[in-house]
């Protein structure tokens, strides 16, 4: 099951860490920002169900669509056109993890089209996702244990990523 959500493209995200600031000289970044607490909502479920406390994403609920080295002039041209435009994306409601990071799978054909238009691969190195949070290193063992239990009891679903048209999609109706 996927949820259909709207966000706003942001081609000018603030540098929120030393790493971001250092990489901003050569890396271009664009994201979809939401005006919601989706990441907090799923982090709350993980905390309530598994006593797994996550550090929230530094930039709040968002989907990074560009995080690449690319032609800065072309990126700025795209920024002039796409920045602050509304965009639709879809997310899966089953959290995924590698043991330290927790996220939701995301589909966004419009974002993939933007990447293609900018000469980037349609799919980024890390597939589109909405970060729920990062495990504090002190609790890494617990996070891995929870992930292993969820896999064993198929609580997170183990099916591979499917095409968007293979899912049932729910839309907010308010």
Q: What is the pLDDT of residues 126-144, one digit of tens each?
A: 999 999 999 999 999 999 9
Question: Do residues 66 and 79 make contact, with C-beta atoms less than 8 angstroms apart?
Answer: no
pTM, full prediction: 0.92
Q: Is 119 helix (H, G, I), strand (E, B) or coil?
A: coil
**pLDDT per position as a tens digit, 156-172:** 877 888 999 999 999 86
Domain of 167 in residue numbering reads as 2-171
> How many domains is the chain built from?
1
Token representation of residue 16: 């929120």
């Amino acid at each position: 099951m996927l949820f259909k959500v709207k966000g706003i493209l942001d081609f000018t995200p603030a540098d929120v860490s030393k790493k971001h600031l250092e990489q901003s000289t050569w890396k271009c970044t664009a994201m979809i920002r939401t005006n919601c607490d989706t990441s907090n909502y799923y982090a709350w479920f993980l905390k309530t169900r598994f006593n797994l406390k996550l550090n929230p994403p530094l930039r709040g609920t968002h989907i990074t669509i560009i995080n690449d080295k690319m032609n800065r002039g072309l990126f700025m041209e795209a920024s002039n056109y796409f920045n602050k435009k509304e965009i639709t994306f879809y997310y899966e409601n089953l959290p995924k993890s590698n043991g330290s990071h927790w996220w939701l799978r995301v589909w966004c054909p419009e974002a993939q089209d933007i990447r293609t238009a900018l000469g980037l691969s349609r799919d980024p190195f890390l597939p589109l996702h909405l970060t729920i949070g990062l495990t504090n290193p002190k609790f890494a063992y617990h996070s891995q244990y929870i992930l292993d239990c969820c896999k064993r009891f198929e609580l997170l679903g183990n099916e591979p990523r499917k095409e968007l048209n293979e899912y049932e999609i729910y839309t907010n109706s308010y």
